[in-house]
A and B are shown apart, each in its own frame.
Chain A
Amino acid sequence: MTTVERDTAPVRTASGRTRHRHTPGHIAGRVLLYLMLAVFLIPVMFPVYYVFAGALMGSQELSAFPPRLLPSGIHLENIQGALDAVPLLRMYGNSLVMAGIITVSQLFTSALAAYAFVFLRFRGNAIVFALFLSTLMVPAEATFIPNYLTITGWGMGDTYAGLVMPFLAYAFGTFLLRQSFKQFPRELYDAARIDGMGHLRFLWTILMPLSKPALTAVGMYVFITSWNMYFWPLIITRSTEMQTLQIGLNSLKVGEYSNPGLLLAGAALSVLPTLALVIFGQRFIVRGLTAGAVK
């Protein structure tokens, strides 16, 4: 049996792509390309790697100089130590409650407003929408002092209500959902209305289920940004019991600054939920993040 090898003609690969000829120049170009990518990728990924590697290192490994880059084994005492130093689990719960309430509320308020802008006829629709969009131009930091006075004046400092209140609505979600609702076929809407379906029922039973991708994009975006919030929770909470995870990380850093293992363990714990969202829900996140950048 003989095999005949032909490498003169371009070969079609399984994916249907034509393979280029492997000239020395071409190969050198590829090598250079991957080398340059590595120059960027290594510093980007190193902190991601080290937060988990360092969290598992023993304290002697962490205090060695020059520091070690590979853990010798799995040491779980950092995680235990971090949980003992600051009530991180309680703070986990606080962050979850805060981000959860804000996300659900923004989806709800945004969907209602977007519905009005797309399906309801009222005077000044365009002007009101422009006013909605203009609220996005105000940096939150410029409103924190009066909001702090308002919330504490209502006796809501250091409560869940105080944590979430200013963020229950945000025009970004309205903007994205309006784009999505506009794609909905007008005839279907008219048909549903002629059949006597009320606005709320139509929104809840037909429009929302059909807008899941947009709702998911908004929801993930809102969840990650509110989970990561720092300035507002820092000023509005006082007691350790009400602090969010992000503020807990700062307490950990202030209290245990000489114990890098605990800091890295705390950071690793705090980043797990958003890391999972970014890795498994990236296409939705891309959609939320890049809205406005394209088109």
Chain B
Amino acid sequence: MAWGFLGPSVVIFALFLVYPLGRTVYLSLHGNDIIGRPNRFVGLSHFTEMASPEYVQVLITTVVFSVGVVVPGVVGALVIVLLLEGVIRGQKFLRGAFAVPFAFSVASASVIFAVFYSPGNSVLNGILYRMGLDQVPWLTSQEMALWSIVITTVWMNLGYGVLVLAAGIGSIPKEVNEAARIDGATGPRLAWDVTIPMLGPQLFFLIVISTINALQSFGQIHILTSGGPVGSTTTLVYSIFQDAFAYGTSDFGRASAQALVLLLVVLVCTALQFGVIERKVHYS
């Protein structure tokens, strides 16, 4: 009886989630012909190839990008919700305004930032020019391109962080704040000594989710830089795409090995999250 109800979900998961994991392992252990058909067993060589400078660079770029997105995203969201706590009238409206970028798809956000960054009539360089500052080669310099994508990603994700942390603040018992106020804690002291520690679980959740999202970022790289210039914005997910689907290459073996590395990293992040949630449950 129950399986009739679970059936539709189970069939989809089996076909498009469980089976693919097995097939990914199989593909990662095989070499393939030009159209991607596996034709020889190569053992772990796709994995050992990932120690080559080219792929080490991809992993470094992925880590730099993720840290670059997560730190300002979480700190920014935290500062915003703490400031919003001080707003008496219009708090909900302002919170809603900060959440608006959530409506923008990765493609629309990337297209807008492509206009902002474009070398010809860059809106951002125009603003810098009016402020008397130097022009920035947003997407054309190897040093800057990754950070331009970081800026776009932080903009897209900030609203989500604000919503998560605002929900966390809403769940802090009123008595806790009142007790702190009676003890004379106000403004920044109240935030530092009471609100931030009480937000611990939500902050941790946000850090883990943001990290996982950052690791999976794809559209903004595809639209803004296509992994360039000179591979400087090629992250793990983009590298999977390049090896498997771009420029007519179908190196499914090599791409599958990288997909398994991605899977492993994401699993570690989620396991971390579950472990800490478990601890939190024991505390309360």
Which one of B84, B126, B218 lies within 8 Å of A67 (CB-CB)?
B126
> With A33-B86, A165-B16 in contact, do A253 and B2 touch (Cβ < 8 Å)?
no
**Contact mask for chain A residues 246-259; partner B; CB cutoff 8 A; 1 contact, 0 none:** 11011011000110
B122-159: which residues lie under 8 A (CB-CB) from chain A? Answer: 122-123, 125-127, 129-130, 155, 158-159
How far, in whole Å, are A17 and B87 apart by their CA atoms in the complex? 14
Query: Is B180 close to A, CB under 8 A?
Result: no
In contact, B12 and A169 (Cβ under 8 angstroms)? yes
Q: B257 to nearest A CB, angstroms? A: 11
Give the docked Cα–Cα distance between A64 and B94 (Å).
33
B168 — which chain A residues lie within 8 A by C-beta? 293-294
- Tell me, rounded to whole Å, the shortest Cβ–Cβ distance linking A64 to chain B: 7
Q: Are B27 and A250 in contact (CB under 8 A)?
A: no
Contact of A47 with B116 at beta-carbon distance under 8 Å, contacts A141-B218, A142-B262 already known: yes
**B11 contacts which chain A residues (CB < 8 A)?**
169
**Contact bitstring A131-165, B, C-beta under 8 A = 1, else 0:** 01001111111111111111000000000000001
Shortest distance from the beta carbon of A117 to any chain B beta carbon, whole Å: 8
Residue in B20, B83, B103, B255 whose beta carbon sits within 8 Å of that of A36 in the complex: B83
- Kindly specify which of A1-9, A182-190, A211-219, A277-285 makes contact with the partner chain: A277-285
Cross-chain contact B16 with A120 (CB below 8 angstroms): no
Asked if A204 lies at the interface with its beta carbon under 8 angstroms from chain B, I say no
Q: Which residue of A lies closest to B1 (CB)?
A: A120
Which of chain A's residues has its CB closest to B281's CB?
A295
Chain A residue at minimal CB-CB distance from B24: A146
Q: How far is the CA of A40 from the CA of B162 in the complex (A)?
A: 12
Give the size of the chain B interface in residues (CB under 8 angstroms). 98
| Distance from A27 Cβ to chain B, minimum over Cβ atoms (Å) | 13
The reply to whether B102 and A135 contact each other, CB–CB distance below 8 Å, is no
- Asked if residues A231 and B218 are in contact (CB atoms below 8 Å), the reply is yes
B56 contacts A by Cβ under 8 Å: no
Interface positions of A from 89 to 139, Cβ below 8 Å from B:
108-110, 112-113, 115-116, 120-122, 125, 128, 132, 135-139
Among A37, A62, A145, A290, the residue within 8 A (CB) of B84 is: A37
Residue of B nearest to A268 (CB): B108
Determine whether B34 belongs to the interface, using a CB cutoff of 8 Å to chain A. no
Tell me if A289 and B160 are in contact (CB < 8 A): yes
Given known pairs A66-B127, A277-B103, A278-B102, the reply for A253 and B111 (CB within 8 Å) is yes
A249 touches B98 (CB 8 A): no
- Collect the chain B residues with CB atoms within 8 Å of residue A36's CB: 79, 83
A234 close to B222 (CB less than 8 A) = yes
Contacts of A120 in B (CB 8 A): 1-2, 5
Q: Nearest residue in A to B253 (C-beta to C-beta)? A: A145
Distance between Cα atoms of A165 and B160 in the complex (Å) = 28
Q: CB of A263 within 8 A of chain B?
A: yes
- Inter-chain CA distance A110–B118, complex, in Å, is 44
Total contacts A to B, CB within 8 angstroms?
A: 281
Q: Could you tell me if A45 and B205 are in contact, using CB atoms closer than 8 angstroms?
A: no
Instruction: Decide if A67 touches B171 in the complex (CB within 8 Å).
Output: no
- In contact, A37 and B155 (Cβ under 8 angstroms): no
- Inter-chain contact B219/A230, CB cutoff 8 Å: yes
Q: Are A146 and B103 in contact (CB under 8 A)?
A: no
| Interchain nearest-CB distance for A259 vs B (Å) | 10
| Tally of chain A residues near chain B (CB < 8 A) | 95
| Interfacial chain B residues near A143, Cβ < 8 Å | 16-17, 20-21, 24, 259
Please report which residues of chain A, range 227-255, place their CB below 8 angstroms from some CB of chain B when the two chains form the complex. Answer: 227-228, 230-231, 234-235, 245-247, 249-250, 252-253
Q: Which of B45-53, B63-71, B240-248 contacts A (4 or more CB under 8 A)?
A: B240-248
The reply on A72 being an interface residue by CB < 8 A is: no
Taking a contact as CB atoms under 8 Å apart, the answer to whether A122 and B17 are in contact is no
Q: Is the CB of A289 within 8 A of B87?
A: no
Whether, in the assembled complex, B283 has its beta carbon less than 8 Å from a beta carbon of chain A, the answer is no
- Which of B115, B123, B237 has the most C-beta atoms of chain A within 10 angstroms of its own C-beta? B115
Q: Are B1 and A257 in contact (CB under 8 A)?
A: no
Set A43, A228, A278: member contacting B106, Cβ < 8 A: A228
Whether A76 is near chain B, meaning CB under 8 Å from some CB there, is no
In order of increasing CB-CB distance, the 8 nearest A-B pairs are A66-B126, A228-B105, A146-B20, A116-B5, A230-B219, A122-B2, A169-B12, A246-B107
Some 15 contacts from A to B, beta carbons below 8 A apart, are A33-B87, A47-B101, A48-B104, A137-B267, A141-B259, A143-B24, A144-B244, A146-B27, A150-B16, A257-B118, A263-B111, A264-B111, A282-B96, A286-B167, A294-B167
Q: What 6 additional pairs, Cβ within 8 angstroms, besides A36-B79, A289-B102?
A: A50-B116, A128-B6, A141-B237, A143-B16, A166-B12, A285-B102
- A residues sitting closer than 8 Å to B (CB atoms) are 17, 29, 33-34, 36-37, 40-41, 43-45, 47-48, 50-51, 54, 62-67, 108-110, 112-113, 115-116, 120-122, 125, 128, 132, 135-150, 165-166, 168-169, 171, 174, 199, 224, 227-228, 230-231, 234-235, 245-247, 249-250, 252-253, 257-258, 260, 263-264, 266-267, 270-271, 274-275, 277-279, 282, 285-286, 289-290, 292-295
